[in-house]
Amino acid sequence: MLGSEREASRREFLRRVREHPVCVTSHGLNGSNGFRLAEYVAFSWAIVCEPLRYALPGAFAPGEHYLAYTTPEECVARVAWLFDRPDWRDEMARRNWEWHSSWQRPDRLALRLVALTWAAGQEQRRPRGSPDDRASAGQELPSALRAASS
C-alpha cells in the first residue's frame, strides 16, 4: 500500500508542477542544490530558489536560469515579479530548456561521462615526463566523444 500511495503522491506532484509556470525550491540535504531544481529545469519552468551553493556546468546563472531569494519576503517578491512579466518568465523557461538539453539530458550525461573516462584513461597510459609526453598531449578524443564533452 505504501508504494502505491507514494506513486500517487508523486503523480500528483508532477501534475501540479505542470500547472504552474513558476516553481520555488530551496536547498537540499547538507545545503546541496535541491533535486527539485533539476526537475524544474527539465520541465523548463521559471525558477525561484535559494542562492546555489554548488556550481553547475554550462554557465547556469542567477538572473538567467533562476531568481535567487534569501528571505520568505524576497521569495514572494521574485515569484510576483515573474508573474507580472510573462515575456521574461517565458525567456527564463526557454533558457532552462536549452540548458537541460545541453547538460542534463541522460544521453548527454552518458556521453560526457564516457568522454571524461576516456580522457582519464589516456592520461594514465602516458608516463609523466616521457619524451613522447608532448606528442601524446595532442591526442584528441574521438569526434563523437569530443562533441559530447564540450
Domain regions of the chain by residue span: 2-104, 108-149
Q: State residue 47's pLDDT score.
A: 96
d(CA 105, CA 149): 13
Domain 2-104 sits in which CATH superfamily? Glycogen Phosphorylase B; (3.40.50.2000)
Q: State residue 149's pLDDT score.
A: 52
Q: State residue 122's pLDDT score.
A: 75
d(CA 150, CA 46): 25
Residue bearing the bigger pLDDT, 9 or 94 = 94
Average pLDDT over residues 48-52: 94
14-47 burial code (b ≥16 CB/10 A, e <16)? eeeeeeebbbbbebeeeeebbebbeebbebbbbb
Per-residue pLDDT band at 2 (split at 50, 70, 90): very low
CB of 28 closer than 8 Å to CB of 49:
no
Residue-averaged pLDDT of the chain: 81
Model's pTM, two decimal places? Answer: 0.67
Which of 38-42, 48-52, 93-97, 128-132 is predicted with the least confidence, judged by mean pLDDT?
A: 128-132
Residue pLDDT, tens place only, 109-144: 788 888 888 888 777 766 666 555 444 444 555 555
Per-residue pLDDT band at 77 (split at 50, 70, 90): very high
Q: State residue 31's pLDDT score.
A: 83
